[in-house]
Structure 1
């Protein structure tokens, strides 16, 4: 039991400094606080609701659908805090919006990766649940992200992501003065052979925690680098933001169709007309 001084159920959350009135049901989760400005460019309107540490939150609308964004900083520990505190003020759907390194040769810089599941190489989710618990994306979120990418005409890939805690050693990169972690020399090859699509640092924790709490989560990332081909360019960042924004609107429409048909979950028999 925690004392009153550490009560996590306060109306205003300790790290994010948001309350239930500050956020929508669906929240986009970029790492970089500066990415927030690039995300809200695709909205109809927005208002900054909080900014504390690495956590910056804005809420607005897209095609009439309420939407929020909260930056998480780099890595799963801070992303987990964001999911925890956003869940406590009523958020139900989380979409990571970020960048990644691809490890399959056919993937180009600027392509999107829509995560269906993740290798939990980060340690944060291990503190929540046994290590063989799967990190899976909610299939409704995946469907909405795929539909959004299709409508926008962006090249995308779906599949398994690996989430690491370290940008350097944990992703098979050399550290200071050429330091190499154990197993670093063949890490990327092993992942590639297992048909893992990309590497990033937050998705598996976000999805694991959301699953544990009965919430929806997924991830869409823009490829900045291909570890197989050696290509590296910071381009296409806005594609993930635009795709996640449209997916939020599509999820709201999917939820409305489910309610109209008395369906618990989205399925192929339900139609979603284009606007």
Structure 2
């Protein structure tokens, strides 16, 4: 039996070191802890609430809407820990804000990809549920992200994302000393043929856990590379952060309108007009 300091169900969460008072209902989930500062630049105010291991958490507001951000580090295992512990302290909506490699030739570096679902190439979600369980983004979160990208005038794409557990071999790249994993030479072509839009490393696990727990999740990623054209630039990071921030505000408005209309879910009959 573990001691209280190691109890993952304690009021202050073991890995994130946050409590219920530290986080808002909606949390943005970048991988890189350094991305936190770029995200909060779009907010009206913020306060750092915790920093432990790869997990940095800040909470503030945007246009009167409470909002939090927690970095997750690289990969689905640590992202799943973040979702688990944030859910335990009351957060209900999660938006991954990241970078990705685009798969379709018409996707430019700097564009945004708003995920509607995920190919579960990562292994973390397999620890939770059978492999044929779908990893789907919440349609309200997708709608809010699309509305935000439209209002901001950013180029975006929607569709299926593949989440991998490896940046190199698992994404069809050569490993050390030109090592190639089995099937690596066919992976990208197969994904392109299936109209998968992009590759990253966390979205499908976040979607799966959110669906299991009855929570909402989505993802918006900046295209850093196009795997067909070979183009690579670290561009568009701020666009993803701004889009996710505005989407959080729009989700809050959607929830308010739903409540006033007595509707359980957002639908086209409800208006988000200013």
User: Given the two structures, how large is their TM-score scaled by the length of structure 1?
Assistant: 0.98
Alignment correspondent of 1:206: 206
Deviation per residue, 1:35-67 (Å, 9 max, x gap) = 000000000000000000000000000000000
In 2, Cα distance between the equivalents of 1:176 and 1:137? 34
Q: Map Cα deviations across residues 86-116 of structure 1 (whole Å, 9 max, x no partner).
A: 0000000000000000000000000000000
The 10-residue stretch of structure 1 (3-12 or 131-140) with the greater mean CA deviation from structure 2: 3-12
TM-score after normalising by structure 2: 0.99
The 3-state SS of whatever aligns with 1:56 is strand
> 1:257 aligns to what SS in structure 2?
helix
Larger CA deviation: 6-15 vs 199-208: 6-15
**3-state SS of paired residue (1:196):** coil
Distance 2:207 2:95 in 1: 9
Q: Counterpart in 2 of 1:145? A: 145
How far apart in 2 are the matches of 1:18 and 1:175? 37
Match of 1:12 in 2: 12
Q: 3-state DSSP class of the match of 1:228?
A: coil
1:160-208 CA distance string (max 9 Å, x none): 0000000000000000000000000010000000000000000000010
Structure 1 residue aligned with 2:178: 178
The residue that corresponds to 2:110 in the other structure is 110
Matched residue SS, 1:180: coil
User: Partner of 1:32 in structure 2?
Assistant: 32
- Partner Cα distance (1:61, 1:22) in 2: 13
Q: Say if 2:83 and 2:206, in contact at 8 Å, map to a contact too.
A: yes
Cα distance in 1, alignment partners of residues 218 and 62 from structure 2: 19
| CA distance in 1 between partners of 2:168 and 2:160 (Å) | 20
Superposition map of 1:86-235 within 5 A: 86-235=86-235
Displacement of 1:226 in angstroms is: 0.1
1:155 Cα offset (Å): 0.2
How far apart are residue 121 of structure 1 and its match?
0.2
- When the two chains are superposed, the root-mean-square deviation of aligned CA atoms in Å is 0.8
Structure 1: gaps (5+ residues): none
What is the SS of the residue equivalent to 2:197? Answer: strand
Take 1:8 and 1:167, find their aligned partners in 2: how far apart are those partners?
29
Q: How does 1:227-246 map to 2 (within 5 A)?
A: 227-246=227-246
1:236 is displaced (CA, Å) by 1.1
Runs of 4+ in 1 over 4 A off after TM superposition: 2-6
Distance 2:176 2:235 in 1: 27
- Partners of 2:7 and 2:120 lie apart in 1 by 29
The Cα shift of 1:8 comes to 2.5
Number of matched residues?
Answer: 273
Task: Give the secondary structure class of the aligned counterpart of 1:46.
Answer: strand
Structure 1 residue 9, shift from structure 2 partner: 1.9
**1:257 and 2:249 aligned:** no
